[in-house]
Structure 1
Amino acid sequence: MDLQGTKEARTQEEGEGPLEAYGAGGGRSKEYHKNEGRDSHNHDDRSSIHPLRRRQQPFAYPHGARQSAPPVPAAVSRLREPSPSPEAISIPQELGLGPRDQRLLRKARRSPPVTKKTLSELDLPCIMSNINLRMDANFDRDLHFKPDLDGEKGQRKRKEAADYWDSLAAEIAIYSYHAATTDATTEEVESSDGTRRTFDPRLPALFETLQDVIKTLVPERDHPTIMQNLEVPLLMQQIRKGVLDMLTLAKWLAKLLKTHCAPMRDEWADSMVEQIEKGSQSQDPREIVNGLRTLFSILEAMKLDVANHQIRAFRVLLIEDTVPFLQEYFQGKMNRGSFQVEPARHWYLSVREQARRDDANAEARKTTPTAETEDTLKPLEALFRGISAQLLQFSPPTDFPETFLFDSERLWQLRSTVQNLINLDIAWYIFESYVNKHKRYLSTPEETYSTFRSRLWSLMEDGMDLENRIAGNPDNNDDDPDHRGGKRWTQNMRCIALEIARFACAALQLDPVVADEVIVPIEEALEWHLSNESDLFVFFQNSMRGKILATTLTAARRYLPLSPLAICESQRAPMSAALGPAAPQTGTAGASGSVSTSSLALTPQQSDIERIGMRLAHIGVLHWRVWAPLLYLRDEIAMVELEQPALA
C-alpha cells in the first residue's frame, strides 16, 4: 500500500534495506495515495460499490471433508500443483465447472484482497514513520490516502482480486452442492487432462480476516460481540451443514459498521445487505460474492477514513517535526553505512566552486551595479544554482543527488514545467519572427501572448493548467522518458504548428484557411529548435535561469527565518502579494536577468516563474536545514567546533 501521487507511500523502516521513494512512482501511488477529494476512494471496479443482495444460502462442505486426502502418487505429482491440505475438498464433476474455474479454485490467492496486513500502512504508527508522507505533508495541504488502482501494479491487483472473488463464487457453489448430496468425497480425483480436482477452501480465511479487520475499526468494547458473531469454527460448521443464515449475519454487520463508520457509508452498507439478500433468495453464488466484495470495500473505505482523519489531526506535528525526524533518520542510516551520501557531497562542493568562479567572472565583466547575494546566503545559493542547472539543461540528468531522494518527484515535475515554458518561449519567438518578417507588428502583444499560451498549453496538457502541474499533480499518463515535455511536443508538432500558423494569419490579416506555404516553414523551425540544443534554446534557457534564480532566492530569504509550517502556509499566497507593491527588484550575481516581484499584476510567465521559485525555495530551504549540518557544511562546522576551545 502506498500514499499518490503522485507517487508510492512506502513506510521507511529503520532496517538496513535500501531507501526508496514512493514518488518514484506515488505516488504516487497506492495501494494508497493522495489526490482529488478527501472522500474519493476511487474504487475503480464499481461492482464493489453498487447493490447486490443475498440471504440464507445452504452451502456446506462435503461429508468427511476434514479427513486427510490420500497421498498423490509420485508419477502424477506436478510442479506448481501444491499438495492438498487436510482441509481440501473435491470439485464435483456434476457441477460442470469450466477449466478456468477449476484453475482458479486451485491457484487463486487464498486470502481476500483487503486484510489486516494490507491495511497496516494506514495504522497510526506507520503514518507517523512514513517519510514520504511527512515530506508530502509539507507540500500538499489536502494530502490523503486513496486506493491506487492505476498503472501496471493497479491492473495486476485488480486482476488478482477478480480471480479471488470468482474462485470464491465457485467455492460457494461447491458448498451448496455438497450440502445437498451425501456422496461427497475428498479423494484425490483427477480430470481427463490429469489435473487435480481438489482445492483448499478460502472461506475460513475470509471469516478470520473479516474478524481481524473489523476489530481494528471498532472500539475494544465491541470485540466480544464480534468474536461471538464471527466465531470461525461455528460458522464453518454451519456452512458444512448448509444452515448458515448469511442474511442475518449481513444485517448484523451492516448495523455494526453503520454505528462506527461515517454516515456517507450507510448507503453502501445497505447495498451490501441487499446483495446478500438477493443472492440468498436466488441461490446465486455470484450475488453472494458481490455482497462480500462490497463488505470488504466498506472496511477498506472505513480504514481510509480513519487514516485520513489522523493525517489531518497530526498534520501540524508531521510538518513541524520534519527536519529533526529526517536528520535522525538519515544520521542513523549514514552511521550504519546503508546510505551513501559522499557523491552528493562532492556534487555540492563542485557546484559551490562553480558558483564562486561564475561570481568572479561576473564581477570582472560588471559594468553596472548588480544586487549581490549576502555572504550568509551564498552556500544556499550554490545549492539552488546546482539544482536549477539540472532543471534547465536540455538533456535530462541521470538523476538528482541522492540527498534529494524524497524530493525527486517534485523536482522532475518542476523540470517538466520549466522545459515546457522554454518550449513555449521558442514557439512564441517563431510566431513573432514570422510576423515581423512580413513587416507587421502585433498591436496587443500581451493579449495575443496570453491567448497564444492558453491555446498551446491546452494542446499539450489536455486542459491541465500550469498551476496544477506545479502544485504536484502531473499528468500520470505522460510517458515522456526525459521529463522534458519533448515527446508530447513532438507528438503534437503538426497541431502546434497549425495553431501558430493560424495566429500568424490572423496577425497578418490573411485568409483564415492556413496554406501550406505558411505552415511548412513554421513546422520546420519548430521541429528543429525543439529537437536540438540550438542557440535559440540556449538563449531562452539563460533567460529562464536568471529569472528562476532571482525569484527563488527572493523566496528563500523570506523562508529562512520561518518554521516549516509557516513556509507551508505561505505557499497559499502569491509571493508578490506577500512582499507588497514596494518590493524592490531582485537580482543575483552571475544571473543573466532579473525578475521584478513588485507588480501585483503579473504577466502569465511571471506568475509561472513566481510559483516555480516558491516551490523550489520551499524544497531547497527544508533540504538545506536537514543536510547542511549533516553533509554540505559538515567540515566547516567541525572546524568551528575545534576552534571554539582555543578562542575560549
Structure 2
Amino acid sequence: MDLQGTKEARTQEEGADGPLDAYGAGSSRSNDYRKNERRDSHSHDKPSNVRPLRRRQSPFTYPPGTRQPASSSTTSRRESSPSPEATAIPKALGLSSREQRILCKARRNPPVTKKTLSELDLPCIMSNINLRMDANFDRDLHFKPDLEGEKGHRKRKESTDYWDSMATEIAIYAYHAANPGDAEDQTTGSSSQRKFEPRLPAMFETLQEVIKTLVPERDHPSVMQNLEVPLLMQQIRKGVLDMVALATWMAALLKTHCAPMRDEWADRMLEQITEGSQSQHPKEIVNGLRTLFGVLEAMKLDVANHQIRTFRVLLIEDTVPFLQEYFEGKISRGSFHVESARVWYLGAKDRAQREDEQKSPVTSSPPQQDDIKPLEVLFRGISDQLLQFTAPADFPETFLFDSDRLWQLRSTIQSLINLEIAWYIFESYVHTRNRYLSARDETYSTFRSRIWSLMEDGQDTESRVMNSMDEEDPDFRGSARWIQNMRSIALEIARFACAACSLDSIVADEVIAPIEAALEWHLSHETDLFHYFQNAMREKILAATMSSARKYLPLSPLAICESQRVAPTSSNTGPLVSTGTSTNPNSHSHPTSNNSMQPAPPQQHDIERIGMRLAHLGVLHWRVWAPLLYLRDEIADLDLGSGAFV
C-alpha cells in the first residue's frame, strides 16, 4: 500500500479554506461512518458517565473537492420533469398510496455506494485529522456504520423506503414482462398516469462499481461481463433474467475475497434470492439484494479497519508534524484564528504567578524546573476549566480536536466531586447521631459502588448522549444526571445511615428528607462545600498530571500511547477529602479538621487515571502549539534541541 497518503492528505488540507470544525460540526455534510471508540476510562467511568460533546460531532467530512449531494430544490426540479426512462405505474397492480409515494420519492441510489464507501479509502483515512488524534488515545479504534441518534434513524428510514420501492419496481417489471401489451400501451397512455424513475439500472451500476473496488483487477473483466447493465435490464424487461445464477456467481466471488466470517452473509444472500425467485416474491429478492450490499459494506469496513491497525504506528508518530503543518497553513491563510487561545494562556500564566506568590514558604511546593513551568501553566489553566462549577463557554480553540476528551474528563471530575459531597452528607448524618463507622474503608467502597450503579441503572448510554447533545443545559458538571436520580441516591444514603446508626431497617421519611434536601442544595449551588472538594481535587489532579507529564516529555507519541496500557498504582499518598459536621441544606460552611471523623479513603486510582489522560493530551497539545502560539515570542530563547520541552 502506498504510504504517500500522508503528503497527499496534507496537500488536500492545505487547499481547504473552509471553516475548521471538529468532525464537520456545523456543516451540512452527510457522513455514513463513525469511529467506534473503546473508552479507556477510570475505574468507575463507564461510557454513560461521559458528558456529551458541546458540539454535534460527526466522524467524517468529505474530502476537499468532492461533490456534495444535490439540494432538495434540485431534486424537486428533477422529479417534476420525468426523464425519457420514466416508467408508468400500472393501475392493474393496485398499488397502495404509500407504495406509489415511495416509488416516486425514495432515494435514487442504494444506501451503499462507491461514494459513501470512499470515506473509508486510505487517502481519506490518512487525511482524517480526527482519526489521527483519536488513534493516540484509543487502542481499539475502528469504523462502524453511523446509525445512531436522529441522523441514524433518518438513514434507516431512507434505506427502508429505498428497498421497499425496489420491491415494488421489481413487481412492476415482472407485470410488464407477463403482460407485454400493457407495456406497449403505457407509451401512449394518459399524461396524468403517474410515473417513476427506475432504480434498477443505477443499482446494477452501483453494484458493479462497488465490487470492482473490493476485488483484484484480474476479476474486473468477470465483473463487467456478469454485471453488464444494458444486458441485465434487457433480460429483466423480457422476464428472462436468471437471478439465481447471478446470485450464485456473486456469492462465489465475494466468498473468494471476503473474510471467512462474512461467508454466512453471502450464503444467506443466495438463499434469499433463490427463494424469492422460485416463489416470485419481490420482497424476498430485495432482502437478498439488501444482504448483498450489507456484505459489500462489511468487506469495505474490514479493509478500512485493517488499514487502521496497519498504519496505526504511522498515524500516531506523525501526529505532531502533521498537525503543525495543518494549523500553520490554516493560520497563514487566515482561516483559523487562535489569538484568543494565546490570551487565555497568558491569563493562566498570570494567575499561576499570583498563586505562587501568595503561597507561604512553608506550604509552597518545591520550585519546578524552568523548562517545565510553562507546561504547568497550560495544565493549571485547563484544570481550572475542568473543575469550575459552571461549564466553560468553550475550551480554547487550539483544543478543537480534543474537546470531546476534555468534556469527558470534566464529567468524570465533577462526578467524583459529587460523590464526595454525597459521602460527606452521609458521614455528617452519622456524626449527628453520635455514631462512628467501625469499618470505614469497606463502607466507603460499598457506598461508592452503589452510588455509581444507581447512576447507570435504566439508562442507555448512546441514546442519552444523542438526546442531550443539543440540550439547553447550563450545568455541565453532571448535576443534571445526579439531580435526575436524586431520590434514589438520597434513599441509598439513608439506607447506609440507618445501617450505620442501627436504626429500623425500614427507612423513614425523617431520615430521607434532610439527606435529600442537603444533597439537592449542594449539587445545585456553588457552596463552600463544593469549593473545598474542588480545591482538594485540584491539588491532587495537578500533582498526578505533572508527575505523568515529566515521564511523557522525553517519550515519542507512540511510547506515550503505549504507556497508557499500564494501570496506575494505587498508593495512599494522603486524604483526598475530609468530612464535616453539618447537613443543613442552607449551610455554606466547609469541612474542618475540628471533628472526630477520619478523612475519607483517597480515590488515588481515579486521580492517577485522570492525570495520565490529561498529561497525555496536554503533552501532545504542547508540542504542537508551544512553538506555534504559546511561546512563539520566547522560542528564540529556548534550546529546542536539548530538551523534550516542546
Task: For 1:426, give the aligned amino acid.
Answer: I
Q: Residue 450 of structure 1 contacts residue 604 of structure 1 at CA under 8 Å; is this kept in 2? A: no
CA distance in 2, matches of 1:547, 1:36: 26
CA gap 1:338/1:148 in 2 versus in 1, 3 angstroms: same
Q: What's the offset of the Cα at 1:372? A: 2.8
Q: What's the offset of the Cα at 1:108? A: 0.8
| Number of the residue aligned with 1:556 | 549
Task: For 1:172, give the aligned amino acid.
Answer: I
| Number of the residue aligned with 1:278 | 275
CA distance in 1, matches of 2:320, 2:240: 59
Q: What's the offset of the Cα at 1:373? A: 2.0
| Number of the residue aligned with 2:18 | 17
Equivalent position SS for 1:414: helix
1:462 counterpart (457, 462, 465) = 457
Q: What's the offset of the Cα at 1:214? A: 0.6
| Number of the residue aligned with 2:465 | 476
CA gap 1:441/1:169 in 2 versus in 1, 3 angstroms: same
1:215-364 superposed matches below 5 A: 215-362=212-359
Q: Residue 108 of structure 1 contacts residue 163 of structure 1 at CA under 8 Å; is this kept in 2? A: yes
Q: Residue 14 of structure 2 contacts residue 329 of structure 2 at CA under 8 Å; is this kept in 1? A: no
- Which blocks of at least 5 consecutive residues in structure 1 are unaligned? 1-10, 38-77, 588-601, 642-648
Q: What's the offset of the Cα at 1:31? A: 2.3
Deviation per CA, 1:390-439: give whole Å up to 9, x if none.
Answer: 11011111111111011000000111111000000000000000001111
| Number of the residue aligned with 1:139 | 137
Q: What's the offset of the Cα at 1:371? A: 2.6
Equivalent position SS for 1:349: helix
| Number of the residue aligned with 1:207 | 204
Q: What's the offset of the Cα at 1:106? A: 1.1
| Number of the residue aligned with 2:33 | 31
CA distance in 2, matches of 1:179, 1:226: 26
Q: Residue 413 of structure 1 contacts residue 474 of structure 1 at CA under 8 Å; is this kept in 2? A: no
Establish whether residue 418 from structure 1 lines up as the match of residue 416 from structure 2.
no
Q: Residue 12 of structure 1 contacts residue 131 of structure 1 at CA under 8 Å; is this kept in 2? A: no
1:565 counterpart (546, 558, 562) = 558
Equivalent position SS for 1:22: helix
CA gap 1:477/1:126 in 2 versus in 1, 3 angstroms: closer
Q: Residue 23 of structure 1 contacts residue 409 of structure 1 at CA under 8 Å; is this kept in 2? A: no
Task: For 2:567, give the aligned amino acid.
Answer: P
1:506-517 superposed matches below 5 A: 506-517=499-510
CA distance in 2, matches of 1:431, 1:178: 77
CA gap 1:310/1:351 in 2 versus in 1, 3 angstroms: same
| Number of the residue aligned with 2:486 | 493
Q: What's the offset of the Cα at 1:82? A: 2.0
CA distance in 2, matches of 1:370, 1:490: 38
CA distance in 1, matches of 2:541, 2:314: 31
CA distance in 1, matches of 2:13, 2:453: 38
Q: Residue 90 of structure 1 contacts residue 188 of structure 1 at CA under 8 Å; is this kept in 2? A: no
Q: What's the offset of the Cα at 1:79? A: 7.2
Q: What's the offset of the Cα at 1:640? A: 6.6
Q: What's the offset of the Cα at 1:230? A: 0.6
Equivalent position SS for 1:476: helix
1:364-443 superposed matches below 5 A: 365-368=360-363, 370-443=365-438
Task: For 1:326, give the aligned amino acid.
Answer: L
Task: For 1:513, give the aligned amino acid.
Answer: I
CA distance in 2, matches of 1:573, 1:484: 28
Q: What's the offset of the Cα at 1:319? A: 0.4
Q: What's the offset of the Cα at 1:226? A: 0.5
CA distance in 2, matches of 1:532, 1:136: 35
Deviation per CA, 1:438-464: give whole Å up to 9, x if none.
Answer: 111111111111100000001113399
Q: What's the offset of the Cα at 1:81? A: 4.4
Q: What's the offset of the Cα at 1:107? A: 1.2
Establish whether residue 453 from structure 1 lines up as the match of residue 448 from structure 2.
yes
CA distance in 2, matches of 1:99, 1:211: 32
Q: What's the offset of the Cα at 1:576? A: 3.2
Q: What's the offset of the Cα at 1:190? A: 6.9
Equivalent position SS for 1:32: strand
Equivalent position SS for 1:33: strand
Q: Residue 275 of structure 1 contacts residue 290 of structure 1 at CA under 8 Å; is this kept in 2? A: yes
Task: For 1:151, give the aligned amino acid.
Answer: G
Deviation per CA, 1:463-498: give whole Å up to 9, x if none.
Answer: 999xxx9xxx99635727443211111111000000
Deviation per CA, 1:251-272: give whole Å up to 9, x if none.
Answer: 1000000000000000110000
Task: For 2:465, give the aligned amino acid.
Answer: N
CA distance in 1, matches of 2:630, 2:403: 18
1:168 counterpart (166, 169, 174) = 166
Deviation per CA, 1:540-564: give whole Å up to 9, x if none.
Answer: 1111111101100000001000000
Equivalent position SS for 2:182: coil
CA distance in 1, matches of 2:344, 2:463: 28
2:155 counterpart (149, 154, 157) = 157
Q: What's the offset of the Cα at 1:30? A: 5.0
Equivalent position SS for 1:222: helix
Equivalent position SS for 1:443: coil
Q: Residue 144 of structure 1 contacts residue 311 of structure 1 at CA under 8 Å; is this kept in 2? A: yes
CA distance in 2, matches of 1:431, 1:518: 11
CA distance in 2, matches of 1:502, 1:23: 48
Deviation per CA, 1:231-264: give whole Å up to 9, x if none.
Answer: 1111111111111110100010000000000000
CA gap 1:584/1:561 in 2 versus in 1, 3 angstroms: farther
How many residue pairs end up in the alignment?
Answer: 560
Q: Residue 12 of structure 1 contacts residue 19 of structure 1 at CA under 8 Å; is this kept in 2? A: no
- Which blocks of at least 5 consecutive residues in structure 2 are unaligned? 1-11, 40-75, 577-599, 640-646
